[in-house]
Amino acid sequence: MKFVKFANSPVLSQAMPAWRTRFVLFALLAGFGALVGRSLYLQIFQNDFLRQKGESRYERTIEITATRGRITDRHGDVLAISTPVKSIWAIPDDAKLSPHDARQLAQLLEMDVRDLNAKLATDHDFVYLKRQLPPDVAEKVAALRLPGIHDQVEYRRFYPAGDVVAHMLGFTGVDDKGQEGVELALEDQLAGKAGSRRVIKDRRGEIVEDVESIRRPQDGKDVVLALDGKIQYLAYSYLKQAIAENRAKAGSVVVLDAKTGEILALMNWPTYNPNNRTRLAGAQLRNRAFTDTFEPGSTMKPFTAALALESGHYRFDTQIQTAPGRLSIGPAVIHDSHAHGVLTLAQVIQKSSNVGISKIALSLPTLDLWTMYDKLGFGSPLHLGFPGEVGGRLRPAKSWQPIEQATMSYGHGISVTLIQLARAYLAFARDGDLLPLSLTRVDVPPLAGKSVFSAETAHQVRAMLEMVVQPGGTAPKAQIPGYRVAGKTGTAHKIEGGVYAEKYVASFVGFAPASDPRLVVAVMIDEPTGKAYYGGDVAAPVFAQVMAGALRTLGVPPDAPLKPLMVVDTPAAKEEM
Amino acid sequence: MPRINLILLLVVVLCALSTVTSNHSARKLFTELEREQNRMRQLEVEWGQLQLEQSTWAAHARVAKIARDRLGMKAPASGQVVAVEAGK
């Protein structure tokens, strides 16, 4: 081995010019400086931008869908539920389908091939081929693996009860937002809020790490309605039957719980199937009980009678001369259908005498009458959040003429909705107080509402209303075996083009059991065109059927003695008033 | 001195490897969690569909029809009902 000592290298023995050393040193330093500068630039000034670029290579922000809350009836039976369905969409530029593929796809989507091709021929970048398909069909479409055809999860609302609960529930649009009924009224509770979160995905597309949750998804809250599915079905079937029998145009039934103010059933006819809304007419959609006002007719009489009792000038048996069955006020004449002669206040209600109640109304102060109507809720909407809720018409007391004061006492010249009328009867079914109505189940019964009449007055009017359904009254057809029933009929002419036409609105509002009222049922039948058109013949039977079924469903003990009835342990206190 | 450096190097390498394995297993567990959560959502959907099916079968109209037509049932006449007070 031959060693060459570094110091003895012949290269080094030559003298170098000093600038070369310095040049090399400078070049090295400059290179180092450039590196430091560059890294400073990248690490500090460009940091955010580069970090973002890097993260976008492996991080994804994903949307988390939230489901809309369920709607159930008071017993927890599902009335509306959202379940995922798939929509098929396409990018027309990518979707170059062979005729065979197109036929297959069209068959799965249950469309005509020509329609499908027409949809794909648009110059848009995106087109829905079919929305809201059942998941199994969507899977078959995905299995075809056609280019440019994709699917997307959406939620669809289903209403298992169909047309029975249609108006109460309303429905949602294709984007799962409430458009009618409870779906709209309680939208805030029902709607879910979609969330999103950032995750790290590996190359197989599986999520391996949660970076952060940007917004937590909030599922919509379930809503428990006050509605009782069984009572609603009773209202549905008996109303449908009555409409057919009387060849009527429309009708509504409202059932209220007198103890809590809950709406136990609300039925309108005509109705519709919320699951299939392709051929919907305006008439079917109308939630008549809330949105249609009508002149209630004689169902208004008990309110005037109650105010008369409150005034102290009248008693239950104060005598009123109604002969000769006519009463002239200025140029107008008020008629009774039969002349009755001298009647007591209670008989005026029982026989439904227009002359009698008009005389009473005229003897009462105008302002007191107006205040009572206002307290009973006439003229102002209930504010339950239903779309199109109206308040009816109650003119200010100052503009009343004597004739109006008289006609309003028997329900003409004032217009109300059926739900308002039913609520006003709560005053008689309770001890003269009114509760706010509730769409949702009330678990703690409210103590007492706003007082309109004294308890004493309410009890006396209740006794008068019981006489209505007894022999000699206008509505013996409202009787229910085993229960004491109280109520009032109404038959009103409809106004068409400003004049009263030969068309009628038959109604009946009542409650039972009269000894301790539990339910208020209001029935309205619009334009019965059969032989009968009186409230006592048309509306009262529906009332009796719905009320009897509802009382049995709720297990309310009978309060009236029945001849063949075996009553075990009925408390004696309930037998008297 | 070199020996302690070697030991420390070994310790560092071991630590580094264990970080890698634990991170890997964490990710595997997370994928599993993710999969279970998906299953949970699917089960919820299925539950909803079953509820839907149940309420369709239990629709009052259907029950009433079967009770009346197939089973020949009817509501008892009012005289046939005996009211019993609770708790006595």
Q: Are the C-beta atoms of residues A167 and A271 closer than 8 Å to each other?
A: yes
Work out the angle at residue A505's Cα, subtended by the Cα atoms of residues A485 and A510, and round it to the nearest 5 degrees: 15
Say whether A233 and B61 touch across the interface (CB within 8 A).
yes
Is B41 within 8 Å of chain A by CB?
no
**B74 close to A (CB below 8 A):** no
Q: Count the Cβ atoms, other than its own, within 10 Å of residue A140.
A: 14
Q: Which residue carries 């299953």 as its tokens?
A: B39
Measured between alpha carbons, how far is A3 from A18 in angstroms, rounded to an integer?
29
Tell me if A575 sits within 8 A of A482, measured CB to CB. Answer: no
Dist. CA A449–CA A435, nearest whole Å: 5
Cβ pair B83:A158 closer than 8 A: no
B/e letters for A345-358, b = 16+ CB within 10 Å, e = fewer, are: bbbbbbbbbbbbbb
Rounded CA separation A227/A252 (Å): 15
On whether any CB of chain A is under 8 Å from the CB of B64, the answer is yes
Neighbouring CB atoms inside 10 A of A559's CB total 22
**Contact flag B27-A209 (C-beta cutoff 8 Å):** yes
Which among A490, A42, A473, A539 is positioned nearest to A245, based on CA atoms?
A539
CA gyration radius for chain B? 34
Q: Do A209 and B88 touch (CB under 8 A)?
A: no
CA distances from B36 to A155, A214, B29, B41 (A): 22, 21, 10, 9
Which chain B residues are Cβ-neighbours of A82 within 8 angstroms? 48
Q: Which of A219, A220, A209 is nearest to A62 (CA)?
A: A209
> What tokens were used for A537?
């013949």
| pLDDT for the residue numbered A567 | 39
Contact predicate A541/A534, CB 8 Å: no
Judge contact between A418 and A524, C-beta under 8 A.
yes
Closest CB to A562: pick one of B31, B75, B78: B78
Subunit contact A568:B82, Cβ cutoff 8 A = yes
- Cβ atoms A487, A462 nearer than 8 A: no
Separation between Cα atoms, residue A265 and residue A167, nearest integer Å: 11
Element (H, E) at A214: strand A207-215
Token couple for A355: 């002359």
Q: Which residues of B touch A549 (CB under 8 A)?
A: 75
CB A458 within 8 A of CB B56: no
Separation CA A573–CA B78 (nearest Å)? 21
Backbone phi, psi, residue B45, to 5°: -60, -45
Lookup result for tokens 């217009």: A415
CA A24 to CA B50: how far, in whole Å? 82
- Amino acid identity, position A549: G
Q: Helix or strand or coil: residue A486?
A: strand
Are A562 and B88 an interchain contact pair (Cβ–Cβ within 8 Å)?
no
| Distance from C-alpha of B68 to C-alpha of A193, rounded to nearest angstrom | 45
Determine what percent of chain B falls in helix, strand and coil, rounding each to the nearest 5: 80, 0, 20
Give dist(CA A456, CA A76) in Å, integer.
39
Distance CA A166, CA A492 (A): 28
CB pair distance less than 8 Å for B83 and A568: yes
Asked if B78 and A558 come within 8 Å (Cβ–Cβ), the reply is yes
pLDDT of residue A245: 92
Probe site for chain B from A77, A79, A231 (most B CB atoms < 10 A) = A77
- Please state, in angstroms and rounded to a whole number, the distance separating the CA atoms of residues A119 and A113: 10
pLDDT digit string (tens) for A390-444? 888 888 888 888 888 898 999 888 899 999 999 999 999 999 999 999 989 998 8
Tell whether B37 is within 8 A of chain A (Cβ). Answer: no
Alpha carbon separation from A421 to A113, A128, A188, A294, A377 (Å, rounded)? 55, 48, 29, 10, 9
pLDDT at A565: 37
Determine the distance in angstroms separating the CA of B21 from the nearest CA of chain A, rounded to an integer.
14
Q: What does the alpha-carbon distance between residue A523 and residue A548 come to, in Å, rounded to a whole number? A: 14
Integer Cα distance of A231 and A222 in angstroms: 21
Cβ A558–B81 below 8 Å, yes or no?
yes
ipTM of the complex: 0.77
Q: What is the pTM of this model?
A: 0.80
pLDDT given at position A104: 84
Cβ contact A83–B82 (<8 Å): no
Which residues of chain B make contact with A164, given a CB cutoff of 8 A? Answer: 59-61
Residues in chain A with CB shorter than 8 Å from the CB of B48 are: 67, 70, 81-83
Per this entry, what is the length of chain A? 577
Closest Cα in chain A to B75? A549
Say which residues have a Cβ less than 8 Å from residue A259's Cβ, sequence separation at least 6.
Answer: A445, A518
**pLDDT number for residue A564:** 41
* Chain A interface disruption, residue of B24, B35, B81, B88, most A CBs within 10 A: B81
Cβ partners under 8 Å of residue A476, min gap 6 = A469, A470, A536
Q: In one letter, which amino acid is A462?
A: R
pLDDT surpassing 70 at residue B38? yes
Q: Are A482 and B58 in contact (CB < 8 Å)?
A: no
User: pLDDT tens, A462-507?
Assistant: 999 999 998 888 888 999 988 999 999 998 888 877 778 888 899 9
The one-letter code for the residue type at A164 is V
Q: Is A449 left (phi over 0), alpha (psi -120 to 50) or beta?
A: beta
What span, in angstroms and rounded, lies between the C-alpha atoms of A264 and B19? 63
Residue A352 near residue A301, CB atoms below 8 Å: yes
Distance of CA A432 to the CA centre of its chain: 28
CB burial of residue A222 (10 Å; 0-12, 13-18, 19+): middle
Whole-number Å distance between alpha carbons of A501 and A54: 79
Question: What b/e readout covers A377-405, taking b as 16+ CB neighbours within 10 angstroms?
Answer: bbbebbebebeebbbbebeebeebeebbb
Strands A127-133, A149-158: pairing is unpaired
On whether any CB of chain A is under 8 Å from the CB of B67, the answer is no
pLDDT at site A1 = 53
Search chain A and give the residue with CA nearest B80: A565
Is residue A235 within 8 Å of A220, Cβ to Cβ? Answer: no
**Is the CB of B51 inside 8 Å of chain A's CB atoms?**
yes
Cα-Cα-Cα-Cα torsion A329, A331, A334, A340, nearest 10 degrees, comes to 70
Contact predicate A528/A547, CB 8 Å: no
By Cβ distance, the residue of A208, A563, A569 closest to B31 is A208
Q: Is A298 a catalytic residue?
A: yes
Pairing of strands A263-269, A250-257: antiparallel
| Closest CA–CA distance from residue A58 to any residue of chain B (Å) | 14
| Tokens read off for A275 | 């699951």
> H helices within A385-424, ranges in order?
402-409, 418-424
| Inter-chain CB proximity A81 and B52 less than 8 Å | yes
Please give the pLDDT value at position A568: 40
Which DSSP symbol is given to A123?
Answer: S
B36 to chain A, any CB pair closer than 8 A? The answer is no
Residue B88 has pLDDT above 60, yes or no: no
**Residue whose structure tokens are 């003298």:** A15
AA identity, residue A535: G
Residue from A82, A298, A353, A415 carrying the catalytic annotation: A298
- Alpha-carbon distance A158 to nearest alpha carbon in chain B (angstroms): 8
Asked if A226 and A442 count as a contact pair (C-beta separation under 8 A), the reply is yes
Q: Which of A100, A84, A205, A63 is nearest to A138 (CA)?
A: A84
In this structure, what token pair is assigned to residue A463?
A: 């006794």
Task: List the single residue in A with minimal CA-CA distance to B47.
Answer: A83
Rounded Cα–Cα distance for residues A372 and A357 (Å): 16
From B68's Cα to the closest Cα of chain A, the distance in A is: 14
pLDDT in tens, chain A (577 residues): 556 566 677 776 777 788 888 999 999 999 999 999 999 999 888 888 888 888 787 888 888 888 889 999 999 888 998 888 888 888 888 877 788 888 888 888 888 888 888 888 877 888 888 877 777 788 888 888 888 888 888 888 889 888 899 888 988 887 778 888 889 989 989 988 888 888 888 777 777 777 777 888 888 899 999 999 999 999 999 999 999 999 999 999 999 999 999 999 999 988 988 888 777 777 888 888 888 889 998 999 999 999 999 999 999 889 998 888 888 888 888 888 888 888 999 999 998 899 999 999 999 999 999 999 999 999 888 888 888 888 888 888 888 888 888 989 998 888 999 999 999 999 999 999 999 999 899 988 787 788 999 999 999 999 999 999 988 888 889 999 889 999 999 988 888 777 788 888 999 999 989 999 999 999 999 999 988 888 889 999 999 999 999 998 898 888 887 644 333 433 333 222 2
Selecting from A207, A562, A569 the residue whose C-beta is nearest the C-beta of B31 gives: A207
